[in-house]
Amino acid sequence: MANNKTVIKNGRFLVPGAIKPVLSGYMTIEDDLISYIGEEEPLSEEGVQIVDGSRLLFMPGLVNTHGHTAMSLLRGYGDDLALQVWLQEKMWPMEEKFTGDDVYWGTSLSVLEMLKGGTTTFLDMYDHMDRVAEVVELSGIRAVLMRGVIGLCSEEVQNQKLAEAIAFARNWHGKAEGRITTMMSPHAPYTCPPDFFVKFVQAAHDLDLPMHTHMSETKREVEQNIADYGLRPVAHLEKLGMFTRPSLVAHAVHLNDEEIGILSRHNVGVSHNPGSNLKLASGVARVTDLLNAGVKVSLGTDGAASNNNLDMFEEMRLAALIHKGVSGDPTAVPAPQAMRMATEYGAKSIFLDKVGRLAAGMKADFIALDIDQPHLLPHTDLLSHAVYSASARDVEHVWINGKQVVKHGECLTLDEEAICRKAQESFEGLLKR
């Protein structure tokens, strides 16, 4: 199978968990897997594709663990507003009008942005998920998908939405050469009454799938949870049985020590969304405390409407910067840890064992940065440059599942011109409807 084999020569490879985090050498890809990475040159073989790795920095593809991909259609539509005004006057009235086609083009726009920016895996919690899965299948990206369900409706509608979520999760799990996995996702404890939430836990058990939800994004939401149920959100979700399933919660900005203990004990992952949390003025999550308690903390962009881009380099940098500035400790969230949050911990948070690191036996999901540029020179510490100096725009090549999907900054799998035009038309159509 030599024609499915690629050797990268003379590259520099980031292995942020290692003692020596920048490895100079070689990496071999066979089919969808990394079969070798090391300093010694592999024996030459006929029919093997050779990639010249000099001038490039290779790193694991970025893993975006929370988002609502189609919301890129509303990027910049209502900024600098109070949260309730933004939601009630801007987001919800527009989202109500979203058709399957809108979701298709919004998702396409986001996936294009993510691929070109080095994100190789994303989580999406939204509606019209069949259309999202279509984009994933076509684009070559890896994704964990779920129908996000708001349960503030009649029991009949609730049950219908739950059935949809179950059908989607069952139909798509393992599809697109295994690039798609699924989860069960009630939207949030404040939008899903307890009895409805419990039905999701039961479904997750039945389907043997993990769970995802929004949790403790705002202070107000925590206070409301206490008023409604007499418990803070973490204890509330524990009581509803969510943590009997492998679980990931998004945001988790407002936590007390006891809640951090519960999350750690149940091995619940936290998707930290620094850009969105700052922009919506939700606050600054206790990331250092979570990491110290052994909680898996990963990074997410949230939807582009509250970010306002899907640049995971920016989330990595924000995570490395804000926790230093707010805590007063310049050693908080050092560069290797920020990078692991954006890659290895991200993959673990969404239960993908073979993604997130450059190592033999792992899926060949990796990216290459052009490092011969003024803002990435001199070459003092390339891991530091990737975290503190680089951006999505420095991504030169992207491989997912062993296939190259971005080459010299151009996406090989999607029609960029058509997507940009269709996304603009979709937005204009929403304004008119």
The binding site consists of 66, 68, 95, 147, 187, 214, 217, 302
Smaller CB distance to a second copy: residue 88 or 267? 88
Which CB atom, from 226 or from 377, has the smaller least distance to a second copy? 377
Minimum CB separation from a second copy for residue 76, in Å? 4
Least CB distance to a second copy at residue 8 (A): 22
The CA-to-CA distance between both ends of the chain, in Å, stands at 53
Q: Which residues contact 92 (CB under 8 A, 6 or more apart)?
A: none
> Any residues with CB less than 8 A from the CB of 33 and at least 6 apart, and which?
354, 361, 362, 363, 364, 402
Provide CB contacts within 8 A for 192, sequence distance 6+: 149, 150, 151, 186, 200, 213
The residue among 52 and 415 lying less far from a second copy, judged by its C-beta, is 415
- Contacts of residues 395-398 at CB distance under 8 Å and 24 or more positions apart, as own/partner, are 395/116, 395/117, 395/118, 395/367, 395/368, 395/369, 396/56, 396/368, 396/369, 396/370, 397/56, 397/367, 397/368, 398/61, 398/115, 398/116, 398/118, 398/120, 398/366, 398/367, 398/368
Please name which of 244, 156, 233 lies closest in space to residue 190, comparing C-alpha atoms: 233
Are the C-beta atoms of 268 and 213 separated by less than 8 Å?
no
C-beta separation of 382 from 57 below 8 A: yes
Closer residue to a second copy in complex, CB, 102/127 = 102
- Decide if 14 contacts 383 (C-beta within 8 A): yes
Count of Cβ atoms closer than 10 Å to residue 155 Cβ: 11
Q: Which is nearer to a second copy, 295 or 392 (CB)?
A: 392
Q: Could you identify the residue written with the tokens 């949809």?
A: 164
Beta carbon of residue 10, minimum distance to a second copy (angstroms, whole number): 17
134's CB contacts (< 8 A; 6+ apart) are 104
- Give the nearest distance from C-beta 330 to a second copy in angstroms: 4
For a second copy, the closer of residues 14 and 27 by Cβ is: 14
Annotated binding residues for substrate, written as ranges, equal: 95, 147, 187, 217, 302
Residue 399, both tokens: 């491989």
Q: Tell me how far, at minimum, the Cβ of 304 lies from a second copy, in Å.
A: 8
- Using the minimum distance from each CB to a second copy, give the nearer residue, 272 or 363: 272
Q: Whose CA is closest to 192, among 230, 233, 164? A: 233
Task: Give the shortest CB-299-to-a second copy separation in angstroms.
Answer: 15
C-alpha–C-alpha distance, residues 356 and 396, integer Å: 19
E strand or H helix that includes residue 406: strand 403-407
Annotated binding site for Zn(2+): 66, 68, 214, 302
Under a CB-based contact definition with an 8 Å cutoff, are residues 217 and 272 in contact?
A: no
Secondary-structure breakdown of the chain: helix, strand, coil percentages, each rounded to the nearest 5: 45, 20, 35
Tell me the closest approach of the beta carbon of residue 211 to a second copy, in angstroms.
27
- Give the shortest CB-209-to-a second copy separation in angstroms: 31
Dihedral of alpha carbons 360, 363, 368, 369, sign = negative
The least CB distance from residue 280 to a second copy, in Å, is 6
With respect to a second copy, which residue has the nearer C-beta, 81 or 262?
81
For a second copy, give the closer residue by CB, 237 or 319: 319
- The minimum distance between CB 118 and a second copy, in angstroms, equals 13
- Give me 168's structure tokens: 């989607």
Instruction: Tell me the one-letter amino acid at 189.
Output: P
Q: Which is nearer to a second copy, 242 or 335 (CB)?
A: 335
